[in-house]
A and B are shown apart, each in its own frame.
Chain A
Amino acid sequence: MSSADIYREIILDYYRNPRNYGKIENPDISKRDSNPLCGDELEMHINIKENKVSDVKFTGKGCAISQASASMLTELIMGKDFDYVKQLTKEDILENLGLPDLGPARIKCALLSLKVLKYGIYSYLSEKLNDTATADKIKEEASGLF
């Protein structure tokens, strides 16, 4: 993809005016991760009520792709069934960003948000719901992202 395709108005807008930026006090899910190659950081907080995402916020620093991806992901999962959120894939994230053909050098930037989300769900399932079977499956998906 050319950079004119990547850095469209909408990506820059989410980079400069991120939606759902911030923290939740005592969230059900709290996860932080970084990309050691570039130092991008991301922390995600999620509350689950009646098997739905009742609130989600993120903080972080990094490139336009990583921050826009995180912000758009929070919008994608807000209010959604937890079962839907659990099965989100790499392709869903790239499509949501409008960057289906992102090259190998930058795809990690786009997928850091999904990685944090999946590891967060893993901790939640294994520690709070004792559903180790699903948790392990999601952990495997997370570690397979990059």
Chain B
Amino acid sequence: MQASTLNIENIRSDFPILQRKVHTSKPLVYFDNAATSQKPIQVIDAIRNYYLNYNSNIHRAVHQLAEESTAAFELTRDKVAKFINAKNREEVVFVRGTTEAINLIAYSWGRQNVHQDDIVVTTEYEHHSNIVPWQLLTKEKGAKLRYIGIDDHGELILDQLDEYLDTGRVKLVTFSHMSNVLGTISPIEEIIRRCHKKGVKVLVDAAQSVPHMKADVQKLDCDFFVFSAHKMLGPTGVGVLLARKEILDSMPPFHGGGDMIREVHKYETTWNDLPFKFEAGTPNIADVIGFSAAIDYLNAIGMDKVREHEVELTKYALDKISAVKGIILYGTPDMSKRGGVISFNLGDIHPHDLATIIDEDGVAIRSGHHCAQVLMERLEVAATSRASFYIYNTKEEVDVFIRSLNRARELFRI
């Protein structure tokens, strides 16, 4: 009863962690992929190989180790550019993660371009990382932060975007390509089209989408596009900020330090070329090289296959979970507008109690507000439980999950 599109057995054998047992004897069912994915042995080996054989700082030294590490580091940049179809490799800036990328944009571009009474627009289903930096910026500047609301299916109400755009004061519209709680896929092309018609810049938080579906930033024509390696089989501590070259050129640096300079004098400094202007200090070399292996792994499978597998698995899971007595599901039933994420509640069981109970059966899900308290307020819940899937998850695991939910239901006498 495997999902038919991928050779799951082969894939699973590449992930050593999936072989382990939890709570003494239970096979691990890892359904917390929206938080972070597991890592294949290829990624772990790439990091190990770097430290064992060519650990060295990049870009400056002329010895052989530095040549090798610089080449491997910069090769990753090429792979990232190709993976999301960026126009130039110079537009790919390595950062620590999506959160740092958004903060960089708010600090550098935002401070230069957002002024008093200007408007920054975000949405009700954003992660805190796409809310708090804009609160900081708009408060500092006397600007306004506005939210595009969601309807009862968890889809954005685009009429509200038009109302904001009509004020003529909007400087930036920033939103998740895919909600980390509801799994809703935003109508990204439509939003960008409406914003660009008014000359408004767009930031796409692609942390939840790039790991799960094909991305083409040239086709999307967005201004800023950010994501993290660790949700797409790569290591933690690596993220990507992609922006149009002319925008990056116009932006002041974020951090000052080594590698981001051309010439430093006592009172004046000139900046290095892109993307190095935004990469001050020794970067996370080992993990960027590990990320390279993660991209190779996803390319070998093919992103269309990844998406197909997740659609099939999510459909199967939605079908099964709907039949659990007392279940409350959030998000759209339309799989063309949804990723492999299921947020739910079960009767009056608090998500933390639920997660504790099903963890005993080896099932790892997330419970809580998922760093999306604005959305929790909108849904009028304190918290939800969330199961999120990836390439190595199976229908058999979904069955274990459903059995475990029923055990929780019985324990709580629902």
Contacts and interface: CB of A to CB of B under 8 A. Distances in A.
Task: Note whether A and B form a binding pair.
Answer: yes
Interface of A: 2-4, 6-7, 12, 15-16, 37-40, 61-65, 105-106, 109
Contacts of A61: 382
Given A39-B373, A106-B356, A3 B348 contact: no
B368 A38 contact: yes
B352 A3 contact: no
Interface in B329-374: 348-353, 356-357, 360, 367-369, 373
A80 B348 CA distance: 33
A12 B348 CA distance: 10
A129 to B, nearest CB: 35
A109 B367 CA distance: 14
Q: Which 5 A-B pairs have the closest CB atoms?
A: A63-B350, A63-B352, A3-B357, A63-B353, A64-B353
A12 B412 contact: yes
Given A12-B413, A64-B349, A65-B352, 19 more contacts: A2-B360, A3-B357, A3-B360, A6-B356, A7-B411, A16-B348, A38-B368, A38-B383, A39-B369, A39-B373, A39-B376, A39-B382, A40-B352, A61-B382, A62-B382, A63-B352, A64-B353, A106-B352, A109-B352
Contacts of A12: 412-413
Contacts of A4: 411
A77 B11 CA distance: 57
Contacts of A39: 368-369, 373, 376, 382-383
Contacts of A64: 349-350, 353
A106 B367 CA distance: 13
Contacts of B369: 38-39
Given A39-B368, A64-B350, A105 B383 contact: no
A3 B356 contact: yes
Nearest to A12: B412
Interface string B373-414: 100100000110000000000000000000000001001110
B350 A3 contact: no
25 contacts: A3-B356, A3-B357, A3-B408, A7-B353, A7-B357, A12-B413, A16-B348, A37-B368, A38-B367, A38-B368, A38-B369, A39-B369, A39-B376, A39-B382, A39-B383, A40-B352, A61-B382, A62-B350, A62-B352, A63-B350, A63-B351, A63-B353, A65-B352, A106-B356, A109-B352
B272 to A, nearest CB: 39
Contacts of B367: 38
Contacts of A40: 352
A3 to B, nearest CB: 4
A7 B368 contact: no
A37 B349 CA distance: 18
Contacts of B353: 7, 63-65
A10 to B, nearest CB: 13
Interface string B298-339: 000000000000000000000000000000000000000000
A106 B354 CA distance: 12
A4 B360 CA distance: 10
A2 B360 CA distance: 8
A39 B353 CA distance: 13
Nearest to B361: A3
A62 to B, nearest CB: 6
B325 to A, nearest CB: 17
A15 B412 CA distance: 11
A105 B355 CA distance: 11
